[in-house]
Chains A and B, each alone.
Chain A
């Protein structure tokens, strides 16, 4: 299992979502993707993408302008 870091701090819609998708494509089953960002809308929509992609949402931490989301492929 590897951990993939995605840093989208300072980026706005749709970049955080797109970068998560790119990371998921690179990951293999069991890998964990850790995303950090500052765009409030992305904090809400990344979990929607996780559900749509049938991945596992491990955790959401922080404030909407400084958050960390962990996803398991």
Chain B
């Protein structure tokens, strides 16, 4: 059985979404299985049209900071979150959507990009994946 990485995506911040997806893609590229568990603010990013909507975790400055960072990212030819997500799914990455967050925030399945989501579950499902993981992160 392949080694596994499990990542809890609790933050919805743009920069942290980049960290999570880049690490996830790196792990897939190096032959690991990857499960991402989207919870709380992270789950907001799985809403339709929401992937790119997160603020910067620092220096957001009402969007100015985010705009500046995006300019720099474009210049450095960093790919979009959509491209990272497409590659993640293409390489067999799995996504769990947190059902408790859906209840708390009143998010319905049809609000989410159901095509990206492999499982709907709570902490038990995360632990079930994480306990047999070689790498596990909380972002």
Residues of B within 8 A of A22 (CB): 90-91
Chain A residues closer than 8 Å to B84, beta-carbon distance = 14
B72 to chain A, nearest CB (A): 12
Instruction: Report Cα–Cα, A15/B30, bound state, in Å.
Output: 13
Question: What per-residue 1/0 map shows which CB atoms of B6-24 lie under 8 Å from chain A?
Answer: 0000000000000000100
CB closest residue in chain B, given A13: B22
Q: How far is the CB of A47 from chain B (nearest CB, A)?
A: 11
Name the residue of chain A whose CB is nearest to the CB of B31: A53
The total of interchain contacts (Cβ-Cβ below 8 angstroms) comes to: 42
Interface residue count for A (Cβ, 8 Å)? 17
Closest to A54 in B: B31
Number of interface residues of B (CB under 8 A): 15
Tell me if B52 is interfacial: C-beta within 8 Å of chain A. no
Contact partner of B30 among A10, A11, A13, A53, CB < 8 A? A53
A17 and B77 contact, CB distance less than 8 A: no
A15, A18, A45: which contacts B91 (Cβ < 8 A)?
Answer: A18
> Which of A1-53 touch B at CB < 8 Å?
10-15, 17-18, 20-22, 25, 45, 48-49, 52-53
Residues of B within 8 A of A53 (CB): 30-31
Determine if A14 and B29 form an interchain contact, defined as CB atoms under 8 angstroms apart: yes
Question: Taking beta carbons and an 8 Å cutoff, which residues of A are in contact with B?
Answer: 10-15, 17-18, 20-22, 25, 45, 48-49, 52-53
Chain B interface (Cβ < 8 Å from any Cβ of A):
22, 25-26, 28-31, 76-79, 84, 87, 90-91
**Which 8 A-B pairs have CB atoms at the shortest separation, nearest pair first?**
A21-B29, A17-B29, A52-B30, A14-B25, A53-B31, A49-B30, A18-B87, A14-B26
